[in-house]
Amino acid sequence: MSIKYIIHAKFEASGAIEKPDMIGAVFGQTEGLLGDDLEMRELQKSGKIGRIEVNINYGEGKTTGEIEVPTAMDKTETTLIAAALETIERVGPTDTKISIEEIEDVRGSKRDFILERAKKLMEKFGSDDMEIDEMSEEIKDSAKLAKMQSYGTENIPCGDISGDELIIVEGRADVVNMLKKGIKNVIAMNGTKLPESVVELSKEKDSVILFVDGDRGGNLIIKNVTENAKIDFIAMAPDGKEVEELTGKEALQALRKKVPAKEYKQDSRSRGVREYRDDRRPSYKDRDDRRPSYGDRDSRDRRPNYRDREEKPKTDRSERKVKKMTAKEKEEVKGKVEDLVGTKGAIIFNEKLEEIKKLPAGRLGSAEISEDAYVIAIDGAATPKLIENCEKLGCSNLIASNFVSADTDINLVSL
């Protein structure tokens, strides 16, 4: 959970009350006020509200104190929760008045610190003719180009080609431009003939896209390559443009308009790639473990929909027995999953909280284990497809940073 705001409130009670009394009143007396979407107990279960802190002071027959409610909701929802707290008039048998002091923007405090610290760091570097924006862009480009690799004995320029989708472009300059635009799964041909090592590599991939310039040379390359290698789709730059000069938007649009290689017609190029409308528009909603490398954007609508693949049988939920974790088990697991942050990985535990297997989260769909998974912890968001994979492993409890809406009987836990 990423905290955005903290509600600070003060209270005064005419008699003696305890901390549990106040917390119980917060949950009990706000129940039903704001509807199911803003039910305090459910918000805390889903991680939208954090641990409520209550500080109490006794004196002169009265109880005073402060309440802090951290929230990960937006400003409107947070103010509604704050206003609901002020409707509490009694705690136990004691008359009580609650008033909101402030709603603290946690992110604003962090931004102020970052700004002041950045100013001091900048002073140490001294003045320079290069503006901060230019510096940022140069650093970004440098970081992306640092990922340039080479493949095979021919030292063919490429990016990260370890995934299941491969984009073949004409030359090194095309690879450089694609990496700058955040498209990583590219490899060059280094000529009009596809190197043998790339031919063999294409056979190992689920999807191979040939991405060529928008000119006559591009058409010639399509004809040559499709006759000698496994090419699934063809994408072409806009008329008269080369891949190496495309903007990020133009490159992504061209890739989205790719057509199946077997349906591309050389003699009607103008009606080919850009005018083609395929009812199998790229969709990755059903294949969470095969995400394309189109930079950091959400690209689930950019990949082919593999309708011709056999669907796996769905788990029969009526046969599943889900056992929810206890608070003690949550604390025990919490320490074991801290190393997952930033790895995009997953850990599977049995009912004794012993680690059964550690693997990339995207590989849960093909994981094989000898016993049902009691707990699965992942780094990142739990999508419906990932949750379905966890159901197939007999999972009772799924730990993730956040959850995309899904119909499941698994106990969803946010630590």
Of 194, 180, 183, which is closest to residue 160 (Cα–Cα)? 183
Degrees, nearest 5: CA angle 31-36-37: 115
d(CA 178, CA 141): 11
Q: What is the pLDDT of residues 282-309, one digit of tens each?
A: 443 444 444 444 444 444 444 444 344 4
Q: Are residues 228 and 352 in the same domain?
A: no
In a domain, 84, yes or no: yes
Degrees, nearest 5: CA angle 231-149-215: 45
Given this model, what pLDDT does residue 279 score? 41
Domain boundary among 302, 335, 362: 302
In a domain, 311, yes or no: no
d(CA 13, CA 239): 75
Q: Is the pLDDT of residue 56 over 80?
A: yes
In a domain, 389, yes or no: yes
In a domain, 115, yes or no: no
Q: Is the pLDDT of residue 96 over 80?
A: yes
* Domains contained in the chain, number: 3
Q: Are residues 152 and 296 in the same domain?
A: yes
Residue percentage of the chain with pLDDT more than 70? 79
Q: What is the CATH number of the domain that holds 226?
A: 3.40.1360.10
Long-range CB contacts (within 8 A, 24+) of 242-248: 242/174, 242/213, 242/214, 242/215, 243/169, 243/170, 243/174, 243/177, 243/178, 243/211, 243/212, 243/213, 244/171, 244/173, 244/174, 244/176, 244/177, 245/177, 246/177, 246/181, 247/181, 248/181, 248/182, 248/295
Backbone angles phi, psi at 149, to 5 degrees: -125, 180
Summary mean pLDDT of the chain = 79
Dihedral, CA atoms, 229, 234, 238, 239, nearest 10 degrees? Answer: 60
Q: What is the CATH number of the domain that holds 50?
A: 3.30.70.2690
Q: Are residues 354 and 287 in the same domain?
A: no
In a domain, 343, yes or no: yes
Q: Are residues 168 and 295 in the same domain?
A: yes
Assigned token pair, 116 = 């002041």
**pLDDT category of residue 396 using cuts at 50, 70 and 90:** very high
In a domain, 234, yes or no: yes
Q: Are residues 290 and 376 in the same domain?
A: no
Q: Which domain holds residue 295?
A: 141-302
In a domain, 409, yes or no: yes
Q: Are residues 161 and 280 in the same domain?
A: yes
Q: Are residues 153 and 277 in the same domain?
A: yes
**How, if at all, do strands 402-403 and 381-382 pair?**
parallel
pTM: 0.36
Across 265-294, average pLDDT: 43
Domain boundary among 234, 269, 302: 302
Across 360-384, average pLDDT: 86
Q: Are residues 276 and 324 in the same domain?
A: no
In a domain, 112, yes or no: no
Q: Are residues 71 and 188 in the same domain?
A: no
Q: Are residues 263 and 321 in the same domain?
A: no
Given this model, what pLDDT does residue 126 score? 55
For tokens 């509604």, the residue is 80
Q: Are residues 98 and 171 in the same domain?
A: no
Q: Is the pLDDT of residue 225 over 80?
A: yes
Domain boundary among 241, 268, 302: 302
